[in-house]
Amino acid sequence: MSFTLPEKLVPIALKMKRQSRTRTDAKQTTRPSGSGVRERARAGVAPPIPKRIVVPVDFSEFSERALKYAVQMAKEFKAELLLVHVVEAFPIDYMLGIKSAEQANQWQVQQSEKRLREVCGKLTSEDSVAVSSSVKFGKPFQEIVHFASEHQIDLIIIATHGYTGLKHIQLGSTAEMVVRHATCPVLVLPNRNHQSDV
């Protein structure tokens, strides 16, 4: 059984069909082709050779591995290394009072500065690399990103602890947040030996 439009509706249907085809053609002509995108990418400026490299250091084996990698890169490009350690606020124990928490924070900063000076001294004497250090206080990823922006850093080299599953949800990933918020390139060294912790 066939269905035929009434004669009065035929012109309206044809008009709607032509309008739809016109809109479709317009979309197709404005959509960029894949080759065009690739051509624009090829025309981009090559990344500069890093001359100032930041390495976040938390004195773990993971950051030590990132530091070794950064030293080799600094030698290759004759770059300056800037080590940064972030001290997170000591939780306030209201039984002991705010003053005790502040003293604990100050002690952490002093100890971190001492350990970083030792690391810098070793790098200067053994690897002949230009290196400086800084200790910050606050949330790690925020301080790292701010430090890199403030000192016009060309590259951040950071190691991930490799947490997955529940630990990742609880502790988060400093490396992941640095990648999201940094304004300069970030090189993340994964922990390939770490097994998933569900």
Q: What are phi and psi of 26, to 5 degrees?
A: -65, -40
pLDDT higher than threshold 80 for residue 117: yes
Q: What's the pLDDT score for residue 16?
A: 45
* Residue 37 belongs to some domain of the structure: no
Q: What is the mean pLDDT of residues 150-162?
A: 89
pLDDT of 13 higher than 50: no
Show the CA angle centred on residue 113, arms to residues 136 and 50, nearest 5°: 65
- What is the CATH classification number for the domain harbouring 103? 3.40.50.620
Three-state DSSP at 113 gives: helix
Q: How many domains does the chain have?
A: 1
Quote the CA–CA distance of 82 and 56 in Å, as a whole number: 8
Q: State the helix-helix crossing angle for 140-150 and 174-181, rounded to 10 degrees.
A: 40
Q: Has residue 79 been placed in a domain? A: yes
According to the model, what pLDDT value does residue 104 have?
82
Cβ atoms 148, 182 nearer than 8 A: yes
Instruction: Look at residue 3 and tell me if it is in a domain.
Output: no
Residue 112: the pLDDT is 94
Least confident of 47-56, 137-146, 169-178, 179-188: 169-178
**Res 34: pLDDT:** 37
